[in-house]
Amino acid sequence: MSVSIKENIITLDTKNTTYQMAVNANGYLAHLYYGSRLDGSSAADCSMLGYHSLVPLAYDGCSSELSPDVCPLEYSAYGNGDFRTAPLMLSFSDGSSVCDLRFEDVKRIEKKPLLKGLPALHDEAGKSESVEICLKDKIYDLRVYLLYTAFEECDVLARSVRVENRTGGDIVLNRVLSTCLDNYECDYDFISFSGKPNYERSLNRIPLRELKLSCESRRGTSSHQNNPFVIFCSKDCSEKSGECCGAAFVYSGNFTASMEKTQIGTTRFVMGINPENFRFVLKDGESFQAPEVIHTFSNSGFSGLTHNYHNVIRKHLFRGKYADAPRPIMLNSWEATYFDVNCEKLLAIAKQAKKIGVDTFVLDDGWFLGRQSDNSSLGDWFADEERIGCPLSRLISGINELGMKFGLWFEPECISENSILYRNHPEWVLQAPDRKGMLGRKQWVIDMSNDDAVNAIFDMMCDILDNNNIDYIKWDFNRYLTDVYSCRLPAERQGEVLHRYVLGVYSLLEKINARYPDLLIESCASGGGRYDCGMLYYAPQIWASDNTDPLDRVNIQYGTSFCYPIISVGSHVTASPNHTTRRNTPLLTRSNVAMAGTYGFELDLTTLSDGEIEILKKETEFYKAHASLIKDGDYYRLTSNNERYIAWQFVSEDKKHALAVLVQTRNNINYKPIIRRLEGLNANTKYRVIIDGAEREGEYTGTALMQIGINLRTIKYEGESTRIEIEAI
């Protein structure tokens, strides 16, 4: 049993962890413990930390030693004497903002419920166990429901919050965060993954001191600048050892995640929807469902944490055909043709793509009515036969006759001023009254909180998808949200627009998935500007970055790997010199880096020599032979991203096969790299080693490979790479 309820103590166990809470003498739900599995033990003594001067005293005669200012709480509200960051802040109809949540009830839930209108971990097999706890304000009939689900085999705990108004009047929600985790220690490092367009998800590790540490997005998406995934860990935590806890937000809009050190040397971590410009009106009888946070704890360093996240996302977040099916190898036309979408040229590239083993040909931006540049036509999702040079159906037939499937690019959330849709419905744009909206990439954003707009976009997309043989779509979004105002909502509800926008995006994605269950959707937001668990629920792969330079990509993919499965990482072989950085890199390095992802191509294959085509054919064959290992294997980071080279490794579940890659990111001066301490092998198994296609003489035990490593024997220079296969004998 994963869930245990004994007297006042509630325990959730996974294979290796325990999460425990208790109702204390004041009636608060106190946090007791989250860490390595306790096997039936109780941490109940931790709920009382002792009296400290100047803390507010409880007004109901209960023990002052349990003041909410020092008590570790599962969920807290503003105004009750808890001066730490309150996960809940609201106003009642009388203007009061004081809320004091006490334990009301707890119940088991047989099957993890879906969250209405929101992505979340799912469990069709019923292997998880859930508990729902009700907290209630002492004066008003306001109820807060805390849902916890333990995924035992994945060592993961999912948390979410639902606020229900039974007060008889309106309440205004100003902050509803999804998780609150109080810890008894403060000697932590806080790790976030920040960046910018073309250089997303760089690891930042900062020691926790007296000031609050936080990361957030205010851009309407989860953003290039900060990712909604963080880690807090012990000072000595490394890839292989030390304690760490992760929090991944299953949401694609504005978020906040923060950790603070308290006056008594404890810590509080919170995560949820960013409260900036969030103001949600809740009528009597209505409820508000906050998104889910996925937690995991590892006492075996970052590798253990990564494996937990990769497993739970692959098994319980991905959905549909491609949750487990091999991902197609695709060629995307963008860097090959840009807006020049001539049928003859596209088919010529497709014929070369067939030679190298591509499964799916993707027509990117430029195929729809009047789209000759980014100045016009977004919103007019009708094929421009004159520009393409033939009906879209004929182009698709030509691709299909070559034995490949066909994919198409959309940007459903944006609109050009020069478009039929805008001329017919200017009110469907996010735009404040009497103000000219701000352009981003020469386009505006459609009000996705408007059901009429969402339904119109859905109908246009269906007209294309119903009448053409399309197996894949790339779902792009190339700007941030500004001028956040919906003409469909009254003044007092404009603080709901940002959240309702995200719900509208999810609604459209859900409708597309439901109507076309075999369609593969790849999400993109100017590259990795919306790389989060929310989008992975609808689109099981995400274009990691518009920067395809392999020496930059290894760093981008390094940070991405801490939470997100490798098979979710959209990654392509592109031209050299690279179109973004103008840097030259060897073809095999570009291929090796792209293999740490979904693997595909984005270049004009007609410009390559016969020799290069033959190399890529062999590379595609190699990837297909190792696709299941890359998709399902355990992933290890063999180096940090601060060394002269970056190396990573995949290991099969039975530990009989492994694949390691090294990319030299800086020039060697009197230095020969040795891959040290391979990971995840069986210590006593004998392996053979193949380096760049040539078998190394001798047999190697798992112990030798993990404790000594492999001497590459040849010096690698900046931009070069090495691929190592390890096979059990």
Name residues whose C-beta falls within 8 Å of residue 15's C-beta, 6 or more positions apart in sequence: 37, 152, 153, 155
Structure tokens at 265: 């040397």
pLDDT digits (tens, 9 = 90+) for 295-317: 999 999 999 999 999 999 999 99
Please tell me the predicted confidence (pLDDT) of residue 48: 55
Please tell me the predicted confidence (pLDDT) of residue 274: 98
Mean pLDDT, rounded, for 561-576: 98
Residue 51 pLDDT class (50, 70, 90 cuts): low
E strands in 112-265? 129-137, 142-151, 156-165, 171-183, 188-196, 199-207, 213-217, 229-234, 244-250, 255-261
Mean pLDDT, rounded, for 599-620: 98
Q: What is the DSSP string of 398-417?
A: HHHHTT-EEEEEE-TTEE-S
Q: What is the DSSP letter of 607?
A: G
pLDDT digits (tens, 9 = 90+) for 392-419: 999 999 999 999 999 999 999 999 999 9
Mean pLDDT of all residues belonging to the chain: 95
Q: What is the DSSP string of 32-88?
A: EEEEE--TT---GGGG-----TTPPPPTTS--GGG-TTTS-BSS-BTTSS--SPPSE
Residue 65 pLDDT class (50, 70, 90 cuts): low
How many residues make up the chain in this entry? 729
Please tell me the predicted confidence (pLDDT) of residue 596: 98
Q: Which of 532, 602, 619, 634 is catalytic?
A: 532
Say yes or no to pLDDT of 55 above 90: no
Please tell me the predicted confidence (pLDDT) of residue 59: 57
Name residues whose C-beta falls within 8 Å of residue 162's C-beta, 6 or more positions apart in sequence: 144, 145, 147, 287, 288, 289, 290
CA distance 278 to 178: 14
The answer to whether the CB of 2 falls within 8 A of the CB of 12 is yes
Please tell me the predicted confidence (pLDDT) of residue 68: 82
Write the single-letter amino acid at 280. Answer: F
Percent of the chain whose predicted confidence (pLDDT) is above 90: 88
CA distance 148 to 20: 11
Please tell me the predicted confidence (pLDDT) of residue 56: 66
Say yes or no to pLDDT of 64 above 60: no
The answer to whether the CB of 88 falls within 8 A of the CB of 163 is yes
pLDDT digits (tens, 9 = 90+) for 204-250: 999 998 889 999 999 999 999 999 999 999 999 999 999 999 999 99
Please tell me the predicted confidence (pLDDT) of residue 125: 86
CA distance 289 to 144: 10
- Across the strands, what pairs with 13? 18
CA distance 422 to 377: 9
To which residue do tokens 């197996």 refer?
A: 471
Residue 195 pLDDT class (50, 70, 90 cuts): very high
What's CA 397's distance to the chain center, in Å? Answer: 35
pLDDT digits (tens, 9 = 90+) for 667-723: 877 777 788 789 999 999 999 999 999 999 999 999 999 999 998 888 788 999 999
The answer to whether the CB of 455 falls within 8 A of the CB of 509 is no
DSSP count for the chain of H helices, then E strands:
14, 40
Per DSSP, helices labelled H in 357-432 are: 385-388, 392-401, 420-424
CA distance 678 to 622: 21
Say yes or no to pLDDT of 58 above 70: no
Please tell me the predicted confidence (pLDDT) of residue 126: 86
Strand order in the sheet with 17-23: 3-6, 9-13, 17-23, 29-36
Please tell me the predicted confidence (pLDDT) of residue 664: 94
pLDDT digits (tens, 9 = 90+) for 479-516: 999 999 999 999 999 999 999 999 999 999 999 999 99
Please tell me the predicted confidence (pLDDT) of residue 80: 87
pLDDT digits (tens, 9 = 90+) for 622-633: 999 999 999 999
Half-sphere exposure of 217 (CA within 13 A, CB side): 32
Residue 585 pLDDT class (50, 70, 90 cuts): very high
Mean pLDDT, rounded, for 472-482: 97
Mean pLDDT, rounded, for 531-547: 98
Q: What is the DSSP letter of 693?
A: T
Structure tokens at 426: 């200017």
Q: What is the DSSP string of 297-336?
A: EESBHHHHHHHHHHHHHHHHT--SGGGTSPPPPEEESHHH
Is the peptide bond preceding residue 577 cis, with omega within 30 degrees of 0? yes
Please tell me the predicted confidence (pLDDT) of residue 214: 96
To which residue do tokens 């600048």 refer?
A: 225
Say yes or no to pLDDT of 53 above 60: no
- Tell me, yes or no, if 612 is annotated catalytic: yes
Say yes or no to pLDDT of 46 above 70: no
Say yes or no to pLDDT of 725 above 60: yes
Q: Which of 15-29, 37-51, 104-118, 159-173 has the lowest mean pLDDT?
A: 37-51
Residue 199 pLDDT class (50, 70, 90 cuts): very high
Cβ burial, residue 437 (10 Å; 0-12/13-18/19+): middle
Q: Which of 612, 643, 653, 699 is catalytic?
A: 612
Mean pLDDT, rounded, for 98-102: 95
Q: What is the DSSP string of 625-661?
A: HTHHHHHHSEEEE-S-TTSSEEEEEEE-TTSSEEEEE
Q: Which of 22-26, 150-154, 269-273 has the lowest mean pLDDT?
A: 22-26
Please tell me the predicted confidence (pLDDT) of residue 106: 97
CA distance 207 to 189: 4
Say yes or no to pLDDT of 587 above 60: yes
Domains parsed from the chain with CATH numbers: 3-316 (2.70.98.60), 328-411+450-476+509-626 (3.20.20.70), 636-728 (2.60.40.1180)
Percent of the chain whose predicted confidence (pLDDT) is above 70: 96
Q: Which of 229-238, 282-291, 435-444, 694-703 has the lowest mean pLDDT?
A: 435-444
Say yes or no to pLDDT of 49 above 60: no
Please tell me the predicted confidence (pLDDT) of residue 127: 86
